[in-house]
Every structure is written in structure tokens, then in C-alpha cells.
Amino acid sequence: MKFGIRVNLGQVLQQLLQVLLVGMTIGMMRNVVPALAESEFGVPRGSFMLLVAFVVAFGFVKGAMNFVAGRLAERLGRKLVLLVGWLVALPIPPLLYFAPSWSWIVLATILLGINQGLTWSMTQTAKLDLTRADQRGLVIGLNEFSGYVGVAIAGVLTGYAASALGPREGLLWFGAAVIGFATLLAWLAVAETLPWARDEVKRHATASAQALRPRYPPGVSDQPTTREMFVLMSWRDRRMAALCQAGLVEKFVDALVWVFWPVFLHQKGISLPGIGWIVGIYGFTWGAAQLFTGKLSDRLGRHHLNSWGMWVCGAGVALMPLGSNAAWWSTSAAIAGLGMAMLYPNLSAAVADIAHPNWRASAIGIYRFWRDLGYGIGALGLGAAAALGGNIESAVWFVATAMLVSGAVLYRWGEETHPRINPAH
């Protein structure tokens, strides 16, 4: 079997299309639903904890499914897990259309969390199976570029669809088209990549593979148990723990953008399409810049891009409540998106660098468990901050401070993981 983007271009492109559709699926929930939570779905004004309930549910469910997806993918294969993820998403558009109350939105978001945990994990894992070690930053950058451009596109399109057809019917037809198309492609066009991962294990054992070895965590068995992997990733290896806590905290930003930015902008008099464009700038900047930041980390290393990305993203968040017009809010969104682009693909690439191919899918799954748990923990934290402070701005300062502190922890506990720049002795 041959490894690399060029020789596997057809399947890499299929996986990029899959993650674009995955991003569009979550993106349809990130503009219309929170902005109209009060008028369309009956959430009382100022009920911050009730408003964040759907993102809390999403975060805990998606985090758990990331953990499960990594283990299942090593036993059942990547394609089957991907297809199951899409089948779970099929009821989401009807639930949004018929929802009589906010509890139905929470239920739809639970299904969305299962879908995202299974599908997004598999698109990333499958591309890592197909590509070389020196392309990991690039391939994860491409993966996250495609996914978050999908999020941004969906936010803009659903804003227009809701204005033209009404919020419920717009979400119904948009969601049905995206999820139905993705399910058909996963079934008919996506190939199983588990054989590439197994072939990499065999090649890894040859003498030629020993010249440039990553700094794998010591003392890990060839086929580690779930408990062994969880302990390793969560606290036994300080580098992995630093990456996991950074992943968890950076999702505080995404929870803020998802729940409170649309509400904040709606209260300032911005239309649904306008909200879609401002929030979309965050997604477009994040997505497009990853084309460069992922490849840049293959040349310069991951560690400094990750640490500075946390700080730049936090600064962008802090700027949002300091202005009073669309140009300022758009600039704030772009700075936050740039910081996210610096850290997002490269935290995952750093995990992949020092995870052995025998247990790479599990390592990525556990990292993604902690990372997406950040949706739930972050949503609880920013909901509590807004409730205590009596306004959305309090939630903004909570998130900005968390990013500053987490970036410092990552800088202190982490190290460069790129095997060319910092190889094992």
C-alpha cells in the first residue's frame, strides 16, 4: 500500500467532502436556533442556563462519542462508524421542524452530538491513515478547513433560508439535503482505510523506520486497554495532558460563538443574514487559515503555534464586547478565527505525532473526548458567568481569561512533538 495525499487523492477528496457536510450539519444549528430561541422556541429572555442547555448536551454526548468512535474504529473499521454517524443524524431536520418546545431542540442536539462524534472523528482518522507522517499538519489543516468552512457556509445559508421560508421550514429542507447527500456518499463512495493503518504498523517495525522516531510515551503496551489509554492521555503523560486541557478550553470559545454571539448580535439589531456573515467570518477565517497553519507546523513545529494560537484567539474573544458596530465585531471574529486556526489542527497533529499507529485512533478519540467535553463544561461555565453577571459580557470575560491561562499551561507543560524537529534519541 502507498501512503501520501497525492497517491490517495481520490479518497482524500471524498473524506474532505464528507467533513464539509459534517460541518454544514452542525452549522445549521449555529445561527437561527440560538438567535430565535426566545421568539420561536419559547426560551424566556435572560434564561442563560436554559439557553446553554442544548450545547451542554451536545458537548457531553459528542465527547463521549469521540471516545467510543476511536475504539470502535480499530475493531469495526472507519467506514462503518462513519455511516452509523450519518444514520443517527437523519431525524434531526424533522425534530427542528416539529419542535413544540426547547426540549426538542435539546434532543435534536443530542443526536447531533452523536453524529459529530462519529463522523468528524472518522474523517480525520481516515485521512491520517492514508497520508505520511510529514503531511499530518497539512492533512489535519485540510480536514478542519473543510469542516469549518462548512460550518460557516451553513450559518450564512440558513440565515437566508430562514428569512425566505421561515426558520423551521428553512432548517428542514437544508438539513434534509445535506444529511441525505452525505449518507449516500458515505455508503457508496468512501473506502475503508483501516488496512492502511495496519500496514503502517508493519512498516513501523522495520529497521528503516527507526532513524527518525517520535517521542512516544514510554511504558505503553502494544495493544493498550481502554483504561490504560485514558490514564495515559489524561494525566500520566504530561504532554498529552497539556494538549487535552488546551483542547478542552479552546472549545469554550466555540460554545460562546454558538450560544451567545448570535444572541448578542440579535440584541444589537443585526438581522439573521447579518449574524450569519459576522459569525461566518470567524468560521471562514478559521477554516481558510488552517490551509497555511497546518502546513506551517510541518515546517516550524507545533508547540509555539499552539500556545500563541490560544492567546490570539482569547484576544479576539475579548474584543467583541468592546465595539459597537458590524465592522468591529467582524474584526473581532476574524482575530478569534485566526487564533483558532493556529491551534486547532496543530493540537491534533501534536497528538498524532506522539501516538503509536497501534493506538493512534484511540489517542485521537480520547483527545477529542476531552476537547469536545469543552463544549459542555464551557457552556455551563459561560452560562453561570452570564447569570451571575447578569449579562453576556460576563461570559466573554470568563472565556478570554480561560484561554489566557490554558495557553500558559500548554506552553509550560508541552513540548515540540514533530519527530523531525525533536526526535527521540
Enter the C-alpha cell of residue 191: 473506502
- 3-state SS, one letter per residue, for the chain: CCCCCCCCHHHHHHHHHHHHHHHHHHHCCCCHHHHCHHHHHCCCCCCHHHHCHHHHHHHHHHHHHHHHHHHHHHHHCHHHHHHHHHHHHCCHHHHHHHCCCHHHHHHHHHHHHHHHHHHHHHHHHHHHHHCCHHHHHHHHHHHHHHHHHHHHHHHHHHHHHHHHHCHHHHHHHHHHHHHHHHHHHHHHCCCCCHHHHHHHHHHHCCHHHHCCCCCCCCCCCCCCCHHHHHHHHHHHCHHHHHHHHHHHHHHHHHHHHHHHHHHHHHHCCCCHHHHHHHHHHHHHHHHHHHHHHHHHHHHHCCHHHHHHHHHHHHHHHHHHHHCCCHHHHHHHHHHHHHHHHHHHHHHHHHHHHCCCCCCHHHHHHHHHHHHHHHHHHHHHHHHHHHHHHCCHHHHHHHHHHHHHHHHHHHHHHCCCCCCCCCCCC
Residue 218 lies in a domain: no
Distance between CA 294 and CA 298 in Å, rounded?
7
pLDDT of res. 205: 58
Q: Let me know the angle formed at the C-alpha of 227 by 125 and 202, rounded to the nearest 5 degrees.
A: 45
By percentage, how much of the chain surpasses pLDDT 90? 52
pLDDT tens per residue across span 170-213: 999 999 999 999 999 999 999 998 888 788 777 765 545 454 67
The model's pTM: 0.81
Distance between CA 300 and CA 352 in Å, rounded?
16
pLDDT of res. 219: 82
Among 34, 49, 302, residue whose Cα is nearest residue 158:
34
Residue 157 lies in a domain: yes
CATH number of the domain bearing residue 173: 1.20.1250.20
CA dihedral 42, 43, 46, 51 (to 10 degrees): -160
pLDDT of res. 54: 84
Residue 423 lies in a domain: no
pLDDT tens per residue across span 243-266: 999 999 999 999 999 889 988 998
Among 184, 157, 208, residue whose Cα is nearest residue 18:
184
pLDDT tens per residue across span 307-328: 999 999 999 999 999 988 999 9
pLDDT of res. 212: 64
Residue 213 lies in a domain: no
Mean pLDDT, the chain, integer:
89
- Asked if pLDDT for residue 347 goes beyond 70, the answer is yes
Looking at the structure of the chain, the number of domains it has is 1
Domain span at 385: 11-198+224-413
Task: Identify the residue whose cell numbers are 462513519.
Answer: 82
pLDDT of res. 207: 45
Residue 38 lies in a domain: yes
Residue 60 lies in a domain: yes
- Asked if pLDDT for residue 336 goes beyond 70, the answer is yes
**Reported confidence tier of residue 118, pLDDT bands at 50, 70, 90:** very high
Enter the C-alpha cell of residue 119: 463522523
pLDDT of res. 102: 86
Enter the C-alpha cell of residue 178: 445535506
Residue 208 lies in a domain: no
pLDDT of res. 204: 62
Q: What is the largest CA-CA distance in the chain?
A: 65
Residue 188 lies in a domain: yes
- Asked if pLDDT for residue 273 goes beyond 90, the answer is no
pLDDT of res. 206: 57
